[in-house]
Every structure is written in C-alpha cells, then in structure tokens.
Amino acid sequence: MTQVNGRPINRIVILTGAGVSAESGLATFRDSDGLWEKHDPMEIATPEAFERDPALVYRFYNARRNQLQDVEPNEAHRSFARLQSQFSGDVFLVTQNVDDLHERGGSEQVCHMHGQLNSMLCVACSQAQPVPGDYDGTTYCPACGVAGKLRPDIVWFGEIPYQMDTIVSMLRNCDLFIAAGTSGVVYPAAGFVQEALAAGAQTIEINREVSEVTGYFHQQRCGVASREVTALVEELLAD
C-alpha cells in the first residue's frame, strides 16, 4: 500500500500550473520573463478586454496556440501520465494550463479548469469546437453558421472555471493532493490545497520556489518539475 507520511494513499488529486510546461519552452505568467510581464492581463484576459479590442485578444491566443506546434511535453507531463496509468488507486489531474502537453504526454484524463487553446467557443450557440486554424471576429461558427461570435475557450479573470463541482468533490475525497508548478496566486485553484487539507489529505507542493500558499503543504519539494515530479512519481509507484 502506498503511503505518504505514514498515511495510506488511494485517491490522488494533482493540480498543475504553468511551471510544469516551462521546461517545454512555454513561458509562465508571473516569472521574470512571464507572459504577464509583457502583457497586461487586464488588456487580454478579461471579457471587457475582448469587448474593447477583440483583434488584440484573437492575436494573442492564435499566437499562443500556434506555439504549441513547436513544443513537446517534458518528463513532468510524462511522469504524471505514468502515475495515472500505473497507480493502483484513482488519480485525478486538474490543470490551469491551456496547452495540450498533458494529453500529448500520455494523460487520458485531464480536467482543463481554465479552458484550452485548441478550443473555441461560440457565444451564439454555446458550443465549444476544435480550432481549425487562426480565427477572428469574422470567422463563421462551424456548428451554427453564425459569423463573428467565436471567442477563445479560455476562462478569463472574472469568469467561473470549468468543472468546479467535480473538482471540489474530488478534493473532498482525496488522500493526497499534489500541486506542481503553480504560484498559488489565482483563486479558486490556489484554495484547492485548503479544501484537500480539510478533507484530511496529505499535501505536497512541487515548485521551483515556494508558492504563496506554501504554508498549507505538509511537504515542499523545491526544484524543477521534470526532476521533482519524476522522483515523486517513482516513490509513489514503488510502494
């Protein structure tokens, strides 16, 4: 039986953030070379910004989606996928990342609480669609045929993340919560560790530096995700 700090582990919830994709070459948000250093999030990642300057917002997300063609998953993505496929209990993976590197690293279940770059949302028919290529304020929705109503399928500041009911129920039933590569600044994700703690779970943080919510974790493993995630997964699978 796998144990952490002497406690048996059957159900694991993993939360990932931009730090997990950093070694693949995707910029994080809040590091010194991060996306929010170069762009004001209030000019890009809010419904109001999209209303004010949709062309800028389409450009930003088209560029980020196109960048996915030039990057590959790293050992952290692959190790989490290995945990999901080989662990004897349940492993639920929730990510704040909007890239597709967990899937390409082999994960079959990924909950994208902040949406996905490879998806676009039609506000006329409410359908999410795969993105066929660059799109903008003139593109027709492939589902309902209405033009000019497609937006990035990204949860912006002020919007409610996807699948919160499922996530909260997983947190309330887990024995181990792992957060990797996230600064612990953006809620509700930053509060997941407290939810898991309240449920009696063991909590482990993996990050290059301690996060804003580090005090809620039983263990801090400081270092790059590719190395630290791989080491932790090996420990969990060895028991």
Catalytic residue numbers, as ranges: 114
Q: How far is the CB of 140 from ligand OAD (least distance, A)?
A: 26
Residue 191 to residues 10, 81, 174: CA-CA distances in angstroms?
22, 24, 15
Query: Cα 109–115–119 angle (5° rounding)?
Result: 95
Residues within window 92-131 making contact with ligand OAD, judged by CB under 6 A: 96, 114
* Residue in the shown chain whose Cβ atom is closest to ligand OAD: 19
Please give the structure tokens belonging to residue 218.
């039983």
Query: Within 146-165, which residues bind ligand OAD (CB under 6 A)?
Result: 155
200 contacts: CB under 8 Å, gap ≥ 6: 175
Candidates 19, 73, 105, 152: give the one binding ligand OAD (CB under 6 A).
19
Q: Is 149 helix (H, G, I), strand (E, B) or coil?
A: coil
Contact 29, 35 (CB under 8 A): yes
Residue 22 binding ligand OAD, by CB under 6 A: yes
Identity (one letter) of the amino acid at 115?
G
Closest distance to ligand OAD from the beta carbon of 98 (Å): 7
Cis peptide before 47 (omega within 30 of 0): no
| Site for ligand OAD contains 18 (CB under 6 A) | yes
Q: Is 139 in the site for ligand OAD (CB under 6 A)?
A: no
Shortest Å, Cβ 145 to ligand OAD? 29
On the 0-12 / 13-18 / 19+ scale of CB atoms within 10 A, 187 is: exposed
Does residue 191 interact with ligand OAD by CB under 6 A?
Answer: no
The residue ranges that bind ligand OAD (CB under 6 A) are 17-19, 22-23, 28-31, 34, 41, 45, 96, 114, 155, 181-183, 185-186, 207-209, 211, 224-225
